[in-house]
A and B are shown apart, each in its own frame.
Chain A
């Protein structure tokens, strides 16, 4: 692979909840500008993995490198501002905010480098006018909404959106932070076939046109196998296989994990 450090590197990540080991010594790397899927049966630890990467909780052991830099101790908002964005399995929009406002929330960190500038902004700029930066931010947010085909809903409250559109708003919101890597937790869940097809196209364009790395957790195997450049398989918190989609699909361990082994039957 390339000489540059991989965008994300997991070294022996272990996460326990009480006596239950959700992730056990997980190693893998995510290369830049690829769609990298993480699959595995229910309870394999996929969402836990996302929570550890985004900093919602720390791991008991192991370390996490983002662009070669150790981020074990960085708080969630710091990680978001460094370029790690995510969406949620159960969509978490700000229901009382409009679609545009939802997207703009994640521009917040990028445009407030310090406490002082935030206070200065609140005191000197906010009461009088929208600064050039504010207009630029809104334009960029609108561009993203157009990219995802939901620009018509800009002033709708998130609570009033259709399900498929809610997913897209979450993706737009993650994109607004200008991420280097996006963690998408089951983006196709609950989508109908045409919505899934649309999602497939969007994710491909994100990788090819915007150069964003996508780490994808997904149960829709057609989508995963058609879309991914690389697949990592987890089972009971352990990595059991990785490689190109075709190779993983025919891996006996993976088949056993999904279907059970002969002995068990």
Chain B
């Protein structure tokens, strides 16, 4: 039924939006398409998976978690650890990408950092395959979801958790960018590195900060996606990367709110189209929308915040 599909669309859209926001933030400050962003998402899922496996596998830790859960009378504390751990892990990866593939590369050739992030993509994917193997790995069903029935609608606690986490993170992201000092500096840097630097903004630091922020967000999206689909694979980054890219273009380059709305829009359209038109048409529809928008409104649905300098 429609309501159920809309919930699924929101869930898928949340993943797209979280990755797309990162893309668009990085594009904003560096005019760089960060190719490896999808792989950071994938790594987030693996980090989360490893944390869950470790925490359920080692008896002492598992017992401690159980004790805490029964003491607080909640379930799913594991997920918080998985998300928090993945966030730290992918944040570090984001910083490494800056130091290895962005700073040493001469920015005068716009294609050079793009190519180096493609290199990072290949590197991350192969290292992941080496370490974890190339097969699909399933997320242990560590939590028994509680199902809620609202009219015809069934929604379980894990779905609610995913949606709440995604919305909370994106909300704080919006606040950080629009309302805080560092956000102001990020927006200033997006408009002009040179002017921002001459006003005392440490542009190198802002770039690093944005990469870490975007990577943390992608990492969390990865964990949530892994939990939702209950499996992860070293190849899961590519599809999300491509779809999030579509969202960034739909929303308007550098436009955070645009990326968010476009993410949810695309997720919903994809789910509805596979439900009612068959899943074969899903990608066809996605890219048709993209091409149509680019033809008639090249700045995206909500206008671009990026100007050519």
Q: Contact residues of A with B, CB < 8 Å?
A: 54-56, 75-77, 80-81, 85-86, 88, 92, 94-97, 101, 104-112, 115, 118-119, 121-122, 126-127, 134, 137, 173-174, 177
Contacts and interface: CB of A to CB of B under 8 A. Distances in A.
Contact of B182 (A85, A110, A126, A173): A126
B194 A56 contact: yes
Nearest to B172: A127
B71 interface: no
Given A94-B191, A97-B188, A118-B209, A105 B305 contact: no
A136 B253 CA distance: 34
Interface stretch (B14-22, B97-105, B195-203, B263-271): B195-203
Contacts of A54: 198
Contacts of A88: 195
B200 A177 contact: yes
Given A56-B194, A108-B185, A118-B209, A77 B202 contact: yes
Chain B contact residues (Cβ within 8 angstroms of A): what range?
Answer: 20 to 34
A122 to B, nearest CB: 5
A118 B205 contact: yes
A94 B180 contact: no
Given A77-B201, A96-B305, A108-B181, 13 more contacts: A56-B198, A77-B203, A81-B200, A92-B195, A94-B187, A96-B191, A97-B184, A97-B187, A105-B185, A108-B184, A108-B188, A112-B182, A137-B181
A256 B194 CA distance: 37
B209 to A, nearest CB: 7
Interface of B: 172, 175-176, 179-185, 187-188, 191-192, 194-203, 205, 209, 305, 307
Contacts of B209: 118-119, 122
A86 B181 CA distance: 21
Most chain A CB inside 10 Å of its own CB: which residue of B184, B205, B209: B184
B256 to A, nearest CB: 12
B176 to A, nearest CB: 6
A77 B180 contact: no
Contacts of B201: 77, 105, 108-109
Interface of A is mostly: helix
A137 B181 CA distance: 10
A149 B141 CA distance: 64
Nearest to B190: A96
Count chain A CB atoms within 10 A of each CB in B175, B197, B209 and give the residue with the most. B197
A77 B188 contact: no
Contacts of B197: 75-77, 80
B181 A76 contact: no
**Most central of B179, B188, B200, B305 by chain A CB within 10 Å:** B200
Nearest to B212: A119
A76 B198 contact: yes
5 contacts: A75-B197, A76-B194, A80-B198, A94-B195, A121-B181
A166 to B, nearest CB: 13
A104 B200 contact: no
A14 B207 CA distance: 32
Contact of B200 (A110, A119, A121, A127): A110
A125 to B, nearest CB: 8
B182 A80 contact: no
B203 A105 contact: no
B261 to A, nearest CB: 18
A173 to B, nearest CB: 7
A107 B198 CA distance: 12
A111 B191 contact: no
